[in-house]
């Protein structure tokens, strides 16, 4: 399996990719990840690659080739469009509908509307789950848990149960953060069932 995660620096893509890799390892597979770290992560576009397989030799390098991702998790709709060429034809995408403004675009005054990207994704990625991450964050009570909501929504696609994700979470997070993140994970999982019909403008799940 190859899963690509993309978003904006600070949205928690690194932890999410580690959790997927941990789940894969716990399930007995060999896993590799590669993430954007350092100067590039200060509010810039970030991409994480996660690959896992029963045989390490089947995934010799940490980077997913273009057109090679079985699943794409988009933390931001514009970033999801940017990374769509990585998705295999027919691959599944889980995308948060809420846009993050680009300070550079704000300066020049042409900040595109997130809905433009969401509309495009609907047409270009038929196997799409849209998630209102902001609404889940509001319910959970923290804007920092978007990563868990998306993971919850993607769990089944990736072949993991929410329970195994929770186990991985406990291994990699300090105990005081687990409860909040568990909530987001479960909200995300619950939302994904009926999420396909979401209307981003109304923000309902």
Residues 11-70 that bind other proteins (CB under 8 A): 18, 21-22, 25, 30-45, 55-63, 65-68, 70
φ, ψ for residue 60 (rounded to 5)?
-65, -30
Measured between alpha carbons, how far is 180 from 169 in angstroms, rounded to an integer?
A: 11
Q: How many residues bind other proteins (CB under 8 A)?
A: 71
Core vs surface per residue 52-67: b (16+ CB within 10 A) or e: beeeeeebeeeebeee
CB atoms within 10 A of CB 192: 22
Q: For other proteins, which is the closer residue by CB, 40 or 170?
A: 40
Q: For other proteins, which is the closer residue by CB, 33 or 147?
A: 33
Contact letters (x/-) for other proteins, 179-198, by CB under 8 A?
--------------------
Which residue from 78, 133, 152, 200 is in contact with other proteins, where contact means CB under 8 A? 78
CB of 165 to other proteins, least distance (A): 14
Output the CA angle 123-10-85, nearest 5 degrees: 30
**SS3 of 200, please?**
coil
Contact letters (x/-) for other proteins, 99-138, by CB under 8 A?
--xxxxxxx-xxxx---xx--x--xxxx----------x-
Element (H, E) at 184: helix 175-194
Q: For other proteins, which is the closer residue by CB, 85 or 175?
A: 85
Q: For other proteins, which is the closer residue by CB, 90 or 175?
A: 90
Element (H, E) at 50: strand 45-53
Which residue from 12, 91, 133, 188 is in contact with other proteins, where contact means CB under 8 A? 91
């Amino acid at each position: 399996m190859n899963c690509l995660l993309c978003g904006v620096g600070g949205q928690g893509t690194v932890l999410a990719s580690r959790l997927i890799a941990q789940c894969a390892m716990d399930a007995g597979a060999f896993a590799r990840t590669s993430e954007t770290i350092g100067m590039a992560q200060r509010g810039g576009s970030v991409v994480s690659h996660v690959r896992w397989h029963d045989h390490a030799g089947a995934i010799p390098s940490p980077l997913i080739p273009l057109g090679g991702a079985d699943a794409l998790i988009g933390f931001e709709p514009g970033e999801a469009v940017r990374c769509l060429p990585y998705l295999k034809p027919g691959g599944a995408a889980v995308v948060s509908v809420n846009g993050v403004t680009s300070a550079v675009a704000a300066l020049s005054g042409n900040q595109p509307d997130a809905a433009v990207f969401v509309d495009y994704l609907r047409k270009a990625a038929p196997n799409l789950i849209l998630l209102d991450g902001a609404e889940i964050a509001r319910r959970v009570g923290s804007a920092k848990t978007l990563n868990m909501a998306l993971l919850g929504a993607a769990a089944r696609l990736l072949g993991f149960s929410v329970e195994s994700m929770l186990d991985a979470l406990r291994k990699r997070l300090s105990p005081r953060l687990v409860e909040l993140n568990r909530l987001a994970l479960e909200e995300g999982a619950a939302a994904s069932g009926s999420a396909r019909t979401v209307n981003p403008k109304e923000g309902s799940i």
